[in-house]
Amino acid sequence: MFETILVAHRGPLAVRVVRTVQRVGAKAVTVHSDVDDRALHVTTADESVLLGPADPARSYLDVDRVVEAARRTGAQAVHPGCGALAEAAGFAAAVRDAGLVWVGPDPSRVARSTGSRGRTGVTVLGSPDGGVVVGEHVVRSSGTAALDESGPPDESARAAAVRAAAGIAGLVTVELDGDVVRRLVPRLQAGHRVTELVHGVDLVEQQLLLAAGQPLSCRPGRGVGVAMGARVYAAGAGQLTAFEIPADVCVDVGYRKGDRVQPHYDPLLALVTAHGATREQALDALRAAVAAFVVRGVDTNLPALSAALERTS
């Protein structure tokens, strides 16, 4: 395994990746802009490098600065997170040209298969000994409410996904309508926790193992139960005067009380995922979790999420 890994992302998903990097025994390095110097992804990491001003083009999306940060901190690998850089072929090439390991499939190889968005996503871990299907998920969007749900097994869809991902090294999500492949997404999905909870696997750890040339620690399985997730967004910038999260469910957060939601970046505050033996149990747990959030200082999509969950059956 690598000794030091740079996570080129911010917010809840950067914190989520950092925690796995640290759990597997590696040093986690993040990057930040000047307005994010006390952000949770900065204080959670072992080290963080200032890239530049708030403007994303001059900080988080500046490939040269991110690669230089990785080299300066002695990182051997770069995890691109779940954002735009994870699908940027130029960023992946710059990382490799610097002698570093890119954690994920080569975006330039996956781009050839992209098309319209599919209704169902199948997560495939491509390894030298063949692709391992981890699980399915469905994303349902209604206005400002985005819900993730683990999908029922579909053997024809799984087979189509494995064929589509053949020869691609790393984690890829194959989006399909039925068994028709629509596009391939070469990165960790925001709603990946629904797959993890059902199948008992840490997808970030599997990404790191593949990038390090080590065998996967998971095997194909049918999964246990059902998982459902929701994404909590701020509706604008402002300081969080209260920020309380629910217990007894999986919550990935990028903020805490007193933090300021910046206008320059993705307003994702948290991702909450609930698991149950049945779909009804998972849905009830997610409804309760969304109701338990306390966020003040900024408007959020929590009311829209609650309404969407009440309409879901």
Query: In Å, what is the CA distance from 106 to each residue of 92, 175, 188, 241?
Result: 7, 17, 13, 42
List, in sequence order, every residue forming a beta bridge with 49; answer none if it has no partner. 31
Per-residue model confidence (pLDDT) at position 131: 66
Six token digits for residue 119: 């209704």
Give tens-digit pLDDT for 256-296: 999 999 999 999 999 999 999 999 999 999 999 999 999 99
Run of H or E including 30: strand 27-33
Give tens-digit pLDDT for 196-225: 999 999 999 999 999 999 988 887 677 899
Per-residue model confidence (pLDDT) at position 134: 79
List of domains in the chain: 4-103 (3.40.50.20), 115-211 (3.30.470.20), 226-311 (3.90.600)
Per-residue model confidence (pLDDT) at position 109: 79
Stated length of the chain: 313
Q: What percent of the chain stands above pLDDT 70?
A: 96
Report yes or no: 134 and 200 within 8 Å, Cβ to Cβ.
no
As a whole number of angstroms, the distance between CA 167 and CA 121 comes to 18
Six token digits for residue 31: 């990057």
The DSSP 8-state label assigned to residue 68 in this structure reads H
Per-residue model confidence (pLDDT) at position 160: 83
As a whole number of angstroms, the distance between CA 279 and CA 214 comes to 35
Higher pLDDT pick, 133 / 206:
206
Average pLDDT rounded to a whole number, residues 303-308: 96
Among 17-26, 170-179, 274-283, the minimum mean pLDDT is found in 170-179
**H-assigned helices in the chain:** 11-23, 40-44, 63-72, 89-97, 107-110, 155-164, 193-199, 203-211, 279-292, 302-311
